Every structure is written in structure tokens, then in C-alpha cells.
């Protein structure tokens, strides 16, 4: 499943790059660049959604603090 997220991001990157070709009309450049950015964002969102729910807890434990700590 991770490969599909990376593939979506890669397709988005290539689409955005193709959208920067100067010989294309402004309308086509805009459409390709926008589509590429949407694909990249979608891939990143899917990747973030797949993160474990306790990621913050892991970092908190490494730092040795409690989420409700009121120490100043």
C-alpha cells in the first residue's frame, strides 16, 4: 500500500513538471500544475493517514514528559 502512495506523489510531481513546459497554453499549464499539486497532496495525506495513532505518545515517551505535565 505504501508504494501506491509514493506512486501517487510521483505522478503528481511529473504532472506538475509537465505543466511547466513553456510551449503549452497558460490554461493547460495551470491545469497540469494544479492536478499535479492535488495528486502530491493526496499522496501525502494518505501517507499521514497511515501513521500509527500513537506517534505523539512515542515522541512524548522519548522526551520523558507527560502530556498533562504542568511543570514550569
Residue 69 located in a structural domain: no
**What is the span of the domain harbouring residue 10?**
2-63
Supply the pTM of this predicted model: 0.66
Residue 58 located in a structural domain: yes
pLDDT reported for residue 21: 93
Residue 70 located in a structural domain: no
Residue pLDDT, tens place only, 5-63: 889 999 999 999 999 999 999 999 999 999 999 999 999 888 887 766 665 666 555 55
pLDDT reported for residue 47: 84
Q: What is d(CA 58, CA 54) in angstroms, rounded to the nearest whole number?
A: 6
Residue 71 located in a structural domain: no
Number of domains in the chain: 1
Residue 68 located in a structural domain: no
Amino acid at each position: 500500500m505504501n508504494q501506491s502512495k509514493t506512486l501517487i506523489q510521483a505522478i503528481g510531481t511529473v504532472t506538475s513538471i509537465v505543466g511547466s513546459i513553456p510551449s503549452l497554453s497558460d490554461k493547460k499549464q495551470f491545469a497540469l500544475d494544479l492536478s499535479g499539486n492535488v495528486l502530491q497532496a493526496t499522496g501525502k495525506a494518505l501517507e499521514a493517514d497511515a501513521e500509527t495513532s500513537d506517534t505523539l505518545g512515542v515522541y512524548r515517551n522519548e522526551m520523558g514528559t507527560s502530556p498533562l505535565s504542568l511543570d514550569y
